[in-house]
Amino acid sequence: MKSKNLSENILRSVKSKGFKYIDLPSVIEANHIVQRSGENFRKFIFSFTDHNGSELCLRPDLTIASCLRYLENNLKGKEKIFYSGQAYRKSQNKKDSIIRNQIGFEILGSKDEKNDDKEIINTSLKLLQNIKHSSGTLTIGNVEIFNLLISKLDIPKRWRLRLSRHFWREKYFNDLLKRLETNADVDPTIVEIDKKRYVKMLEEDLSNIVAGRTINEILNRFDQKIKDPRGVNKGKNVSKIIKDFLKIKCPINKAANKLNEFFKKNRINLAVDQKYFPISNRKISKLNVVFSASFGRQLEYYTGMVFKIDIKSKSLSKNIINGGRYDGLILDLGSKKQIPAVGAALNL
């Protein structure tokens, strides 16, 4: 009964902020999940095949189910919605429950990005008033700042794409940095063989087709790739810049200064205003508010501001709320254009 009352109080709090309640389907197409999270994620979902041969699964994530609803119902413009229910996901830790009870709330289709980010965080803080805690931490990150940094680094375009795409896969991302430091992805023998092929191809008809591409296209591509054996020192320097950036962690009111000092020191043409962040107070009620450059690596679909709230009580330390901006998710699910989206979920 106590849990039910807590849930009802939280739902009332969300509704009081102007969000509209919606129902979400419990079963969705499995390919929507796998497309976003990769084949490795398949082992965490509960899937089955229907009589038409389509692979379906119990929703492992309420956000994707909500975005599919917006897309499939051809909705337009701003929507403030909330929902409650269970997400079903297997875990490698046998102590974890496979059922997660959540209350989620989102703002979809609105172009007022900064104010929407603030509203989602302020709504989260209001919900927290229903939950007893003695202290806690609100951690804020921003995936967009990381991607802007990557775009300014002196590395080939394909390396920028790799690092941005795999930021959320921490172990693989660290492996990429090692390869960047050592040139382990470049085999000098193969490079020399390719150079000889390049010279030979220059003598051929450039319009001839080889493996689906013209010789001219192949040569242009090689011109780009030949610049990527990088000097070892350059790779080490870029890797160090990235690692140093990811170490930045400070009270939120010092975030802009810390970042700008870092950019200036490393001669990177970027600057951040403190107003860029949805909150500038280093303490709100019982929560310390910090900025962490490495935070935001839980899910692939985050594109901008990300945050989490961890709370402490006498007997418990718990991550209670997670959220962020995912402007590309509805586009990736099949929309013809990018639709702004930001939201959060409270774990009951």
Structural domain of 102: 1-132+343-348
Residue 295, both tokens: 């935070």
In a domain, 141, yes or no: no
Based on the fold, state whether residues 14 and 125 are members of the same structural domain. Answer: yes
pLDDT tens, position by position, 115-166:
999 999 999 999 988 888 889 999 999 999 999 999 999 888 888 888 998 8
CA–chain centroid gap for 32, Å, is 16
**What is the domain count for the chain?**
2
Beta bridge partners of 251: 290
**127 and 175 belong to one structural domain:** no
Question: End of a domain among 211, 241, 271?
Answer: 241
**Is residue 348 one of the residues assigned to a domain?**
yes
Token pair belonging to 144 = 């967009």
Burial class (CB in 10 A: 0-12, 13-18, 19+), 126: middle
Contact criterion met (CB below 8 Å) for 63 and 100 = no
Q: Please state the length of the chain.
A: 348
Residues 6+ apart with CB under 8 A from 315: none
| 205 in the same domain as 127 | no
Which residue, of 223, 241, 259, is where some domain finishes? 241
116 occurs within a structural domain? yes
* pLDDT on residue 45: 86
pTM over 0.85: no
Q: Is residue 263 part of a domain?
A: no
Q: Is 93 inside any structural domain?
A: yes
The CATH number of residue 124's host domain is 3.30.930.10
Q: pLDDT of 167-220, one tens digit each?
A: 988 888 999 998 888 765 544 555 566 667 777 777 788 788 776 678 787 777
- 48 with 110, same domain: the answer is yes
Residue 176 sits in the same domain as residue 51: no
The rounded percent of the chain whose pLDDT value lies above 70 is: 88
Q: Are residues 125 and 172 in the same domain?
A: no
